[in-house]
Amino acid sequence: MKELLEFIVRSIASNPDEVKVTESREDNGNKVLLQLEVSPDDKGKVIGRQGRVAQSIRTVLRVASIKNGTRAVLEIL
């Protein structure tokens, strides 16, 4: 999950070296919490107009997590 999120966000960001993803598991490993940090300049690109890009990223993560039998939650910091 972490690698997928990093790949997507690094493709979008102007400063891909400043992309940082932290992954933690909760509820006996059934829930994956992904915390995303990007540079302030890239935050608008990652969120998108009216949150459309962020919502699309969450949808992709949700589909990938269902295949793994877990639930993914994305926080953009």
Average pLDDT over residues 35-64: 93
Q: Of 59, 19, 58, nearest to 40 (Cα)?
A: 19
Q: Give the single-character DSSP code of 15.
A: -
Whichever domain contains 69, its CATH number is: 3.30.300.20
Q: Is the pTM of this model over 0.85?
A: yes
Q: Give the single-character DSSP code of 16.
A: G
Residue-range definition of the domain harbouring residue 6? 2-76
pLDDT at 28: 83
Report the distance separating Cα 17 and Cα 19, nearest Å: 6
Q: Residue 58 pLDDT more than 90?
A: yes
| Each residue's pLDDT tens digit, 4-41 | 999 999 999 999 999 999 999 988 878 999 999 999 99
36 - beta bridge partners? 21, 76
Instruction: Name the domain count of the chain.
Output: 1
pLDDT at 55: 95
